[in-house]
Amino acid sequence: MDATRRSIVLAGVAATVIGFGTHAHAASAASINRDVSAALKMLYAQNAGAQVLASKAKAVLVFPRIVKAGFMFGAQGGDGALRERGKTVGYYRTLAASYGFQAGIQSFGYALFFMSDSALSYLRRSEGWEIGTGPSVVIVDQGMARQLSTTTLKDDVYAVVFDQKGLMAGMGIQGSKITQITPR
């Protein structure tokens, strides 16, 4: 099998493993909520910057487990929940496909902290929000997280990636599409 065909087959397998596709693969609401609660507990315990963000955020959209796999062509996806004042108000799926230099499999989670009503409204009214369009998203790395305070928060949405496992050359959330789902 030549390299191109192998890449296409591996991308198809990765997409299938991730659940790339229909609502039929959505996890249960109870399962998503349990995973989101555990992810937030871990995130806040390990990242003081995330606690600062949460204290000022209008809402937090948490994807506790994203799986990314690929070889030249790749896919990533996972389900999560939107929380306002600690209560789940909606369920969402993030999906992305990519091509270029990449190889491996990885899992990670990320949380999007919505700091403005306009950013939260954009998420709710969009038919699917592609990160990189609409509200500005700032990726918070470990260095930036240590410098966050309630007076330095100026952007619409802050993203914090956490719990990275596995090995993947190349990772990001840019271009991820987020759509609302109805869990089973």
Tens digit of pLDDT for each residue in 24-74? 456 899 999 999 999 999 999 999 889 999 999 999 999 999 998 988 888
Domain that holds residue 97: 3-181
Q: Tell me which of 133-142, 146-155, 174-183 is least confident.
A: 146-155
The number of domains in the chain is 1
**What's the 3-state SS for the chain?**
CCHHHHHHHHHHHHHHHHCCCCHHHCCCHHHHHHHHHHHHHHHHHHCHHHHHHHHHCCEEEEEEEEEEEEEEEEEEEEEEEEEECCEEEEEEEEEEEEEEEEEEEEEEEEEEEECCHHHHHHHHHCCCEEECECCCEEECCHHHHHHCCCCCCCCCEEEEEEEEEEEECCCCCCCCEEEEECCC
Residue 146 has pLDDT above 80, yes or no: no
Residue 125 has pLDDT above 60, yes or no: yes
Regarding predicted confidence, which is higher, 74 or 82? 82
Residue 151 has pLDDT above 80, yes or no: no
Average pLDDT of the residues in 100-105: 82
